[in-house]
Amino acid sequence: MCVVRACRGISRRVFLFPQEIVRSKSIVVKINMVSPTNILSMTPPDAVEFLLRILREDYEYSGEIIIAEGSAGDTWLGFRRGGFDSIARKFDAELFDLHEDDFYSVEVFDHRLETFEIPVSKLLVDSDALISICRAKTHDTVVVTLSIKNVAVGGIVGVGNRSRIHQGYRAINLNIAILGAIMFPDYAVIDGRVGMQGDGPVRGYEKKWGYVFSSDNALCLNAIVAESMGFNPINIGYLYYLSRLGFGDIKHVRLSGIDMGDIKTSFKPHRTYRKQLNWRLDPETEETILRQIEKIVSRFPRAKKAKHRHSKI
């Protein structure tokens, strides 16, 4: 059974990194910064600073740390507005704009469920160790945006290419599942101290909650945080598909450090929430598409490693 850690506020208790991360030569910390000017849309900067301090001081990690993001706007402006440039200097880390990265061409689906290719960051796909850290937010198309969507959509190279995966509710959930699989994080953190509710991921408003969550299985983490936000993870298409693909069991997750009843709350969903639930395929089509996705993601070692590690959870 997958374990998700949770605590009230930000604490060392929630940052327990697997040995494979702290022994790696390089760690990529994928933050979320949809808007370079709206701080509420970003990963909280103090959470990133806390994470880097834990790595450098508590774990005495001396390898390369790269803080990576590709904003929907000016990434370097966002790095400065969020103070990530000073955080990087403080902990001897590098900032990297994913829109400047080399890429792999990855097949995804259009609204007819036919495939086309988009460019995806080689840095995230090939990273020795990948940590996804983000804020808990509602979303305008796929209900919630958490640590898997942070890497999936954030790993697309080129601002103009992000919109190409938005091919209707059916296709975008399949596409996030594909991209989430090939860039599946080794460790994930979701900061829910102050989340975003309503018309996220940019135009929502504050939801004061107070909790921080982490796990070495990003799928189980997303499932329990989504449930705690008031949403059924089975109704979130990309989480459902990743579970079907063998990346973790989203129905059986153990919460450590706090009781589920204490953390459950209610995030106001996006105004299009009911429409967003119209992503399901008929059973025959679903099986055909999932076999197709398995062939797509099997090309990428990160997906195979993650699936092998989590398929028995």
Q: Name the percent of the chain lying above pLDDT 90.
A: 94
Q: How many domains, in total, are found in the chain?
A: 1
Q: Is residue 167 part of a domain?
A: yes
Q: Is residue 134 part of a domain?
A: yes
Domain boundaries, position 157: 2-304
Q: Is residue 312 part of a domain?
A: no
pLDDT above 60 (res 17): yes
Rounded Cα gap, residues 226 and 216, in angstroms: 17
Which helix (H) or strand (E) segment holds residue 138: the answer is strand 129-138
pLDDT above 60 (res 57): yes
Q: Is residue 111 part of a domain?
A: yes
pLDDT, tens digit (0-9, with 9 covering 90-100), for 83-110: 999 999 999 999 999 999 999 999 999 9
Q: Is residue 108 part of a domain?
A: yes
Q: Is residue 184 part of a domain?
A: yes
| Measured distance between the N- and C-terminal CA atoms of the chain, rounded to whole angstroms | 5
What dihedral do alpha carbons 258, 259, 262, 264 form, nearest 10°? 110
Write out the DSSP string of 201-216: TTS-EEEEEEEEEEES
Rounded Cα gap, residues 124 and 210, in angstroms: 29
Q: What is the pLDDT of residue 313?
A: 43
Q: Is residue 74 part of a domain?
A: yes
Q: Is residue 151 part of a domain?
A: yes
Pairing outcome for strands 253-256 and 94-97: unpaired
pLDDT, tens digit (0-9, with 9 covering 90-100), for 104-140: 999 999 999 999 999 999 999 999 999 999 999 999 9
Rounded Cα gap, residues 218 and 204, in angstroms: 24
List Cβ neighbours of 70 (8 Å cut-off, separation of 6 or more): 97, 98, 99, 101, 121, 154, 155, 156, 157, 159
Closest of 230, 234, 136 to residue 189, by C-alpha:
136
Rounded Cα gap, residues 127 and 25, in angstroms: 10
pLDDT, tens digit (0-9, with 9 covering 90-100), for 254-305: 899 899 999 999 999 999 999 999 999 999 999 999 999 999 999 999 999 9
